Structure 1
Amino acid sequence: MSRRVTIRDVARLAHTSVSTVSAAFSTHSSIAPETRQRVLEAANQLGWRADRRASQLRRSDYVVVGVVYEVQQAFQAQLVDALYAAAGKAPGVELFLAGATAHHSELECLRLLLTERCTGLILTGAGLASPHIIEAARTMPVMSLCRSVDLPGVDEVYSDPDQGEDHAIEHLVSMGHRDIWFASAPGRSMGEEREAAFSAAMERRDLTSYMRILRVGDTVGAGVATADAIVEASNPPTAVVAYNDMVGAAIVRRLRQRGIRVPEDVSVVGYDDTDLASDPTIELTTIYQPGEAMAAKALELLNQRMTSGMAGEGEEQRISFPARLVIRSSTGPVRQ
């Protein structure tokens, strides 16, 4: 096996120093043009390329933020875009993404980032167990974005599920709905919190005897299963609130496929306000989470931790953003 070419080999061939080679690949250096040309020719002859990231990592003001997210979750993808927008306004911050899929778990993503010299982590998914998150937080600052973990040394930024679900129930009740189901996703990001918030909102209105919770998940298949359960129920609901927009949109499509009108027969509410919710063929009423603001705040807090030190137990910051309801045509007055 041939030996890997290094910057020292380039310097030797160009008859110059390592620092001069490094400067030749910098757009801000003032070395002589002929020296730069000699270095570039030596690098090309040896097949060497400057490692931009390695040189940046040597800067005290440069940080690499690893981001774990679930590729198939639309809202998490929007959060990644929002993080890029926020990073673009923060000089010296670079994102390193690790996407979880059916064949590449969040734990594998985390292990990858821990080997990539990241200086901080942002976690948006729900597949990482608490011990793995705690272990990561012992080595670098960790931010949980849109998931409440309540772990030592881990900061959190999320949207208030109690406020979101209360807005949804108030909207439905104001149109005469009482029989309301909830399509829950236990084990997913804020899954238990949203289910508990739904139950509390129904209880505040003395409607617990009317509600039903289906623990189906966060996928299209979960929405299909919920719609089928509604169609086959002897006492079907007049409205259903879904864990997220993906489930809510699938409920709308499946109900219509099976001859149930939305919203005339059943009203449907989603969560997140992703692009899917505003699809004109669905027009999903949904609970809006301020993704851009949350992503910007998460990166701001993490950057503070990376520059000033890791969060200690009892020093964690937990920031909750308000949620609001976006009303579209998937909800309407209760059927007569």
Structure 2
Amino acid sequence: MGVSLKDVAQRAGVSVKTVSNVVNDFPHVTPGTRARVQQAIDDLGYRPNLSARHLRKGRTGIIALAVPELGNPYFAEVAGAVIDAAVRHEHTVLLDHTAGRREQEVLVSQGFRSHVIDGLILSPIELENEDLAGRPDGPPMVLLGEREYDAPYDHIAIDNVAAARTAVRHLLDLGRRRVAFLGARHESARQPAHLRLRGWRAEMASYGIDPPESLVVATDGYGRHDGAAAMAAVLDRGERPDAVFAYNDMVAVGAMRTLYERGLRVPEDVAVVGFDDIEEGRYGAVSLTTIAPDKAAIAELAVECLVARIAAPPGEPPAPRRVHPPYRLMVRESTRLRRG
């Protein structure tokens, strides 16, 4: 049998109501009583029944996280951070995988599984503004990721243009001038790839550089093979960049493989910067310089926003927030000449 509130109350010499007030962190409990109850909780190993607590409030205690690709290390790391943040807020996370397909993102955003979740954190790739405009009433939703939207939802995303400019500035400050961009896309200008390309153009222009369009390569996806193929395409055009800014770390890793196969050294011949700071990039033969979003902050902000909406009185939701979590440039061997 598990330890009950009654057991804790008897151990602490207080009423069950007092124990309940301490467990739920209600005020009007004296510090001495609170300490005595907490000691009894610790001694007996009492654990609150979170399911019962949520059900009393008409909730399930479950939030959903929908990401484009669980196999992508960045999304896997973000998912882990969201789960950790949700645990701190006494919620369980249900993971969903949209494969970055618009129809699946629409299905998830418009209430799929709404009967089992209290709220949704969605990281969309193809979802459009009109899809959000037609969203029916249902569990609250928080948007995650760098695609831009004009919609009344909390949106947690780093500033892609500023982050891209930081990455390119680092390369230009090293004296590199022919900086290729790998990972452009042909779709909506609101996608992260376009925002990062915009940052690349802006920073190059600020140094008085007008790079040829042949240094920009569009990719079908953002995997290692896409980066390898994109790097090969630049070299096969007869271009010889002295630096690469890749859409993400996996594209950068693929690009470095092609450079190695073509007999070019990183960073001596070509410096490389990625984006996302995935674990793989830290442990290659040449560790990867990258833009590192604060994944823990992204996750905590997303969960905080969602929990606040779940707890809000009916008809009184908080004002939508647009939050830019911090990021930093992690300088490693792919841009830092090694000595010796």
CA distance in 1, matches of 2:281, 2:83: 23
* Letter of the structure 1 residue corresponding to residue 162 of structure 2: Q
| Aligned residue number for residue 68 of structure 1 | 66
CA distance in 1, matches of 2:144, 2:314: 17
8 Å CA contact retained: 1:185, 1:192: yes
Q: Do the aligned partners of residues 137 and 177 (structure 1) sit closer, same or farther apart at CA in structure 2, a change above 3 Å counting?
A: farther
- Can you give the 5+ residue segments of structure 2 that lack an aligned partner in the other structure? 8-48
CA distance in 2, matches of 1:235, 1:228: 10
Q: 1:208 aligns with which of 210, 231, 236?
A: 210
Q: Do the aligned partners of residues 102 and 150 (structure 1) sit closer, same or farther apart at CA in structure 2, a change above 3 Å counting?
A: closer
8 Å CA contact retained: 1:157, 1:321: yes
DSSP-derived class of the 2:324 partner: strand
Q: Do the aligned partners of residues 112 and 319 (structure 1) sit closer, same or farther apart at CA in structure 2, a change above 3 Å counting?
A: closer
- Can you give the 5+ residue segments of structure 1 that lack an aligned partner in the other structure? 1-24, 32-51
CA distance in 1, matches of 2:202, 2:245: 14
* Letter of the structure 1 residue corresponding to residue 157 of structure 2: Y
Matched, 1:59 2:56: yes
Question: What is the Cα deviation at residue 134 of structure 1?
Answer: 3.8
TM-align CA RMSD: 3.1
DSSP-derived class of the 1:156 partner: strand
| Aligned residue number for residue 144 of structure 2 | 145
> For 1:280-336, what per-residue CA distance to the aligned partner results, in whole angstroms no more than 9, with x for missing partners?
324111011000011101110111111115899993210012321111111247xxx
Matched, 1:132 2:131: yes
DSSP-derived class of the 2:156 partner: strand
Question: What is the Cα deviation at residue 56 of structure 1?
Answer: 5.8
> For 1:154-174, what per-residue CA distance to the aligned partner results, in whole angstroms no more than 9, with x for missing partners?
111111223321221221111
Question: What is the Cα deviation at residue 113 of structure 1?
Answer: 4.0
| Aligned residue number for residue 233 of structure 1 | 237
Q: 1:326 aligns with which of 327, 330, 334?
A: 330
DSSP-derived class of the 1:58 partner: helix
CA distance in 2, matches of 1:108, 1:135: 12
CA distance in 1, matches of 2:70, 2:112: 16
> For 1:237-293, what per-residue CA distance to the aligned partner results, in whole angstroms no more than 9, with x for missing partners?
111100101101111112112222211221111001010110232411101100001
CA distance in 1, matches of 2:174, 2:255: 20
Q: 1:288 aligns with which of 292, 296, 299?
A: 292
Match runs of 1:184-263 below 5 Å: 184-186=183-185, 190-209=192-211, 212-216=215-219, 217-263=221-267
Match runs of 1:268-307 below 5 Å: 268-307=272-311
| Aligned residue number for residue 89 of structure 2 | 90
Q: Do the aligned partners of residues 313 and 109 (structure 1) sit closer, same or farther apart at CA in structure 2, a change above 3 Å counting?
A: closer
8 Å CA contact retained: 1:294, 1:321: yes
Aligned pair count reads 288
Q: Do the aligned partners of residues 108 and 179 (structure 1) sit closer, same or farther apart at CA in structure 2, a change above 3 Å counting?
A: same
Question: What is the Cα deviation at residue 110 of structure 1?
Answer: 4.9
* Greater alpha carbon shift after TM alignment, 113-122 vs 244-253: 113-122
8 Å CA contact retained: 2:141, 2:306: yes
CA distance in 1, matches of 2:174, 2:81: 35
| Aligned residue number for residue 41 of structure 1 | none
CA distance in 2, matches of 1:314, 1:88: 22
Give the structure-1-normalised TM-score: 0.75
Q: Do the aligned partners of residues 80 and 113 (structure 1) sit closer, same or farther apart at CA in structure 2, a change above 3 Å counting?
A: farther
Give the structure-2-normalised TM-score: 0.74
Q: Do the aligned partners of residues 311 and 232 (structure 1) sit closer, same or farther apart at CA in structure 2, a change above 3 Å counting?
A: farther
